[in-house]
Amino acid sequence: MTTLATCLASPSNKHRLQAFGAAVTSRFPSGERPLATPPPGSNLKPVMGNYGFPFLGHVLSSLADPLAFARDRYERYGPVSWAGGVGFRVVGLMGPEALETAWVNRDKVFSSTRGWAPVIGPFFHRGMMLLDFDEHRDHRRIMQQAFTRSALDGYLELMRPSIDRTLRNWPLTQGFPFYPSIKHLLLEQAAEVFVGTHLGPESDQLSADFHDTVRGGQALLRADVPGGVWAKGLRARARLERYFAEQVPDRQRGDGTDLFSMLCRSEDEDGARFTPADIVNHMIFLLMAAHDTTAIALSMLTYELGRNPQWQEALREEALGLPNDTPTVLDLDAYPLLDAAFKEILRMYAPAGALFRQTIRDTEILGHFVPRKTQVAINVYASMRLSDWWPDPDRFNPERFVNNSATRAAVSRYAFAPSAAGRTSASVSSSRT
């Protein structure tokens, strides 16, 4: 049974099962209907869509081929539509105008806390991305002290030895397993830079618990059933909480330069600091945000450079033309082609995929009525693959981001928004301005 489960859990077999399930469930006849009736006299339009297969809705179709599914909904309903999914009716937003409405959130009607709660809430409780409104602003101000320019340069110093050592030991061979290798390297970086520990038995357990915590949020059976993915994730999250909580007092008294130690001592201009519980919650979330998403982005960059040797050579020449074994954060600006290539990867393969909110009051999005307590999915991945804003959107073309005023003027801030229009990366980006 264990061997069968392992076989079925492999990425290729998992995708085949999703594709088969999508092919079956997508045939179910589901009538188009409004999400809700707009209030009389409001002049608002209803959000149109359909639920899909009973209970599951369109979940399997959106997992098997998320881009094709999103484009189909966009062509049928426009930038605002709804679809069913595991008991929820979810409003999907696509395109820069719809994304801007949710992200600017002028009336504070879109809640990240409530939106993420049914998705990953139990596993990344009160991480930065899951906080709302003034509390998010206050926590960000404290966290920024751990992402000043000098702090970032300090993290680079911690990173260099293991990066150099690992890359020198990678074999020059065909069929090199890049994704698992880069994940291991990034785990090593997270252990040293974020936590201030080295790989070994302790960090092996840390890695396993982190892996199970991330997988918990991906479970289809969302119940604390013994042996289930959700249950394993909850147990792993509890062990991570104990691991970090036990160390907070010593870190607060120490002078460590790793991120964990910096968060334990960070305070804003008014002297406000994180509580021990805040520190634990932020550390667990930051490990996921930095490790998992970075592994995806670097893997896809390597994939596209392999498919586009002209860009591979251009980036190689740029790097060799400006040799620097000890770059600082500011030095990264000297590599515009690398910057453009990485932005193009974030456009094509946004690691976040979709971001979630829930409306806390009745509201409107682009003239559509959206009632209170509606789940909202901000589809950043598919939005950045729309031909309305990106010519030939499925082609890897870093030239889109080469630093010239005409190109930048043509790209709306919300047309290119891989991480909440800068919201979750505000601490880092502010240190570079």
Instruction: Provide the pairing of β-strand 33-34 with 48-50.
Output: antiparallel
Q: Whole-angstrom Cα distance, residue 419 to residue 304?
A: 21
What's the pLDDT at 431? 34
Tell me the mean pLDDT in the region 265-292.
Answer: 92
The predicted model scores a pTM of: 0.90
Residue 139 pLDDT = 97
21-131+351-410 and 139-348 have identical folds: yes
Kindly report the CATH number that applies to the domain delimited by 139-348. Answer: 1.10.630.10
Residue 412: pLDDT band (50, 70, 90) is low
Residues 416-425 pLDDT 10s: 988 754 444 4
Separation in Å, CA 34 to CA 38, 48, 89, 200, 374 = 9, 5, 11, 55, 13
User: pLDDT per residue over 374-397, tens digit each?
Assistant: 999 999 999 999 999 999 999 999
**Residue 159 amino acid letter:** M
User: How do residues 220-232 score in pLDDT, each as one tens digit?
Assistant: 788 899 999 999 9
CATH 1.10.630.10 corresponds to the domain 21-131+351-410:
yes
Mean pLDDT of 285-293: 83
Q: What is the pLDDT of residue 219?
A: 85
**What are the sequence ranges of the domains in the chain?**
21-131+351-410, 139-348
